[in-house]
Each structure stands twice: as C-alpha cells, then as structure tokens.
Structure 1
C-alpha cells in the first residue's frame, strides 16, 4: 500500500488541514506528490446516502425527550463483532452508570446470537426503565447532531470519528482493528476530545468512563475542545476555507491534464 501510494500522482485525504496539518506536513516528506485535504467527505452528501442498513428513525423521537448533552450514543459500526461476555459487560456498564443511552446493537454483531438473546431475563424492564433505548441501526449523523447527544461510544473507524468531531460530540473509544487504534489514540491523547477504554470491556471502567464524559468536569473540558474543532470544520467548508480551496485546487489539477 505504501509503495503504491508513492507511485500516485496525487493524494486525496478525507480530513481537513486544521485537524492534522502537522502530521500531513511530515508525511509529505515521504510522499512528495500533491496532497488535497478536502474532507470531511460526509459533509458533501445527505446522511442517508452512506447508510448500509435501514436506520430506525424512532431514535430521534426518543432523543427528543431528553435534556441537552445528556445521552450516550453507543455504536460500533457495521463490521465489529463482540463476544457474548463482552456484550454483557457493556450492558451492565451502561446500566450501572445510571445515564441515558441510545444503543445500536446490529443483528449478528454478537457471536452466537441473533440479537439481544444474551441479556438476562427482565434486564431491560428492571434496569433500563426508559433510560435506555436499543435499536438495530440508527441515523448516526442525525443522532450525533441532536442536542440531547452528549457522548459517543465508538469503535473509532475514521468515518465515525470524523462525524463525531463535526458535531462536537466527545467520545469513548473502543478500537477493534486496523486504523481504529491510532484514530482512538489521537482522540484521547493528541486532540484530547475523548476517553480511551484501556482494558477492553469491563463494566467498572465502562461506568467510570461514561460518567467522566457525561457528568464530571472532565466532560465539560472535552466538549469545549471538540466544540472548538467543530467550529474549524464549519469554517474549512465555506468559501475561502481550507477544504473548499483544496477541492478547487483538485479540480484545477485534474483539468490540467
């Protein structure tokens, strides 16, 4: 992949200058071809166009019932699979946090189960009591943009990470494979807009991390930092902004051949 990239005449990045300028400047030393930073890509298209499953729109009406920045949105994307034991740790961590949550459990995402079978009998009725809402898929961009969403527990795929940044929503990070690990570490340690779950899925750490993001003073600091980045996203996409200008440069570059 690196060798093929070095042979490319130009590189197009799904990011924006203000987020990763230092790293991309360093990268250009090894990849001297023109670089075009025109992201975030999803801002150019309607939210529904990128959905692989039918989103449950009741997620939004459920969010309407909650105060601003109060709900944790939980979704691990379209590929991640987890063990039943991990699923139960997630469930008890969410329950024990006593914070509202919207949880996407994709059918087939729990090894050996169709959907919610591993949950203890009566769990939803006894523990959740309207405080939590579980769906098979959600309109993620709309959920992240909703005023009630106060945190996003994510696998840190790049699309999800960018979507959270664009809406100013702090993250809980649970990477599983590939680029998710460096993405998550940038979120927690470099940009400081999220919290890494260092020990996988353990209910005590989950409960603590949720409270750090939604309840504690730390959560306010995370929100302030990511809101500042969100403001930069809004500017970069406007005429004269970095991504807007880079897209114009890309068009001119292609037309020059």
Structure 2
C-alpha cells in the first residue's frame, strides 16, 4: 500500500499536502504506523467515513433501490441478535451451484435470516449482471416459511444497526466491514476478489470478530458455521469483541477529523 500511495503522491507533485485514509487506529495501528514511517506526508485516519454522512445520503448513492419492508420484518422478530443478515455486495456474483448451497445451508441452520439476492447476482441467471432476480431452489420457500426474508437490496446501515441482527455474512468489501464494525456485528466472511481476501483475514485472525464460511460452499458446512456464530459458544465472544470495536470506531471519527481540520488550517 505504501508504494501505491507514494506513487500517487509523486504523480500529483507538490499539490499533495497529506493523505486521508478511511480507517481508524484501533483496527490498523501497525499499518498506519508503517505508512507514516515510509511516506514523506502526514497521513490521517479519519474513518469510518460513513459516520460523517446520513443514511439518506447512503441510500441516494446506492446502485439499487432498497426494499424498506425488511426493516418492518426485523422489527417483528421476537428476539434480539437472532437474525443473520446475508449480502455479498453490489458487484460479486456466484454460480448457481454455490447459490443453491447457500440457500439450503441457511434453511438447514434453523436460524432466521435476511438475505439480499441482487438481480443478476447468480451467473447463468440474468447474465451475471442482468436484471433478472435469480429463482430460489424448488421447495426452499416452503422449507423456511416465515423464518427468512429475501429482498433484492437492503438499507444496509439501518439493517446492521438493528437490534435483531446477530451476524453479517459478507463478501468483505471494506465499506461493508466498517459498517458491520460500527454496528457491533460479528461477521461470516466469504471474500470474492481483490482486497476482500486480505480484509477477511483481518476480520477473522487479527480482530477476532468473524469466522470463515469456507473455500468450498457446501450446505452442511454453511449450516454448521451459521449455527456456531448465531447460537454457539463462539458467538458471544465475537459479539463482545465487535462491541468494543464499535465503541472505538464511534470515538475515532470526531477526534481524527479535528486533527485533520487543524492541519488544513495550518497550511
């Protein structure tokens, strides 16, 4: 990362006075220290940046229209932290086989879930980016009945802040990770490409707030991992670690922004 940032700084020349990074000290202290040692510019960690904008701003910038009925469905859930939220973001696609294993794994877990099934998110259905909503496996709706809610898009920040959400099955996009951290929600990680692989390692091994779904998505494994996080012994520990990060994230943004403002005014 340092070489990339240095290259950008060199390309822009004297116009660069500092670097702003969407992260915070508690989750990337050693990486930020390395950047500050190796770069000749001040680096400001002022994340999570989404805390500085409203949920309405987020909805207006979304590629899809969120289905707000999922919030009413969450309101109706009888227990706190009982629902698994599943969303692989706005770009990632899976093949039909993986999609069906995800579906039957969720069904087999016995855990209530809110699942974002984006149009074109299954390759071979709507062209892996078309407008068709992938059909669910035969018999799936009958199996899960009222235990599952499926939408084409969700207001993610509101969902992750909802008391009914117990964990987040995510592709590990950086924005999604920060939103989950700010909600105090542990994660099931299924990285798809690019920086998501590294992000997943931090979630599971460095911060201890997540668990891997597995390289091979199989229904039995999915059901086991979902159950382990949602109702097993590992869940409360990860949830407590996630809550600690949540508090650190809330405190980080305002103080970091104050430092950036003071620096800009001093230029």
Query: What is the TM-score of this pair, normalised by structure 1?
Result: 0.92
Is 2:180 the counterpart of 1:164?
Answer: yes
For residues 201 and 92 of structure 2, the distance between their equivalents in structure 1, rounded to whole angstroms, comes to: 18
Please list every run of at least 4 consecutive aligned residues from structure 1 whose deviation after the TM superposition is greater than 4 angstroms.
none
**Alignment correspondent of 1:253:** 263
Gaps of 5+ in 1: 237-242
More helix by share: 2
For residues 107 and 138 of structure 1, the distance between their equivalents in structure 2, rounded to whole angstroms, comes to: 13
Out of 128-137 and 42-51, give the one that drifted further: 42-51
For residues 261 and 249 of structure 2, the distance between their equivalents in structure 1, rounded to whole angstroms, comes to: 21
**Alignment correspondent of 1:239:** none
CA contact (8 A) 2:121 2:134 kept: no
**Alignment correspondent of 1:101:** 113
**Alignment correspondent of 2:7:** 4
Instruction: Kindly state the Cα deviation for residue 198 of structure 1 after the two structures are TM-superposed.
Output: 2.7
Is 2:77 the counterpart of 1:54?
Answer: no
Residues 234 and 36 of structure 1: CA distance in aligned 2, closer, same or farther (over 3 Å): same
**Aligned ranges for residues 18-33 of structure 1 at < 5 Å?**
18-33=26-41
**Aligned ranges for residues 1-257 of structure 1 at < 5 Å?**
1-7=4-10, 8-50=16-58, 51-66=62-77, 67-113=79-125, 114-117=132-135, 119-124=136-141, 126-236=142-252, 243-257=253-267
How much is the aligned-residue C-alpha RMSD, in angstroms?
A: 1.5
**Alignment correspondent of 1:240:** none
Out of 145-154 and 28-37, give the one that drifted further: 28-37
CA contact (8 A) 2:35 2:43 kept: no
Instruction: Kindly state the Cα deviation for residue 73 of structure 1 after the two structures are TM-superposed.
Output: 0.2
Matched pairs, number: 249
Query: What is the TM-score of this pair, normalised by structure 2?
Result: 0.89
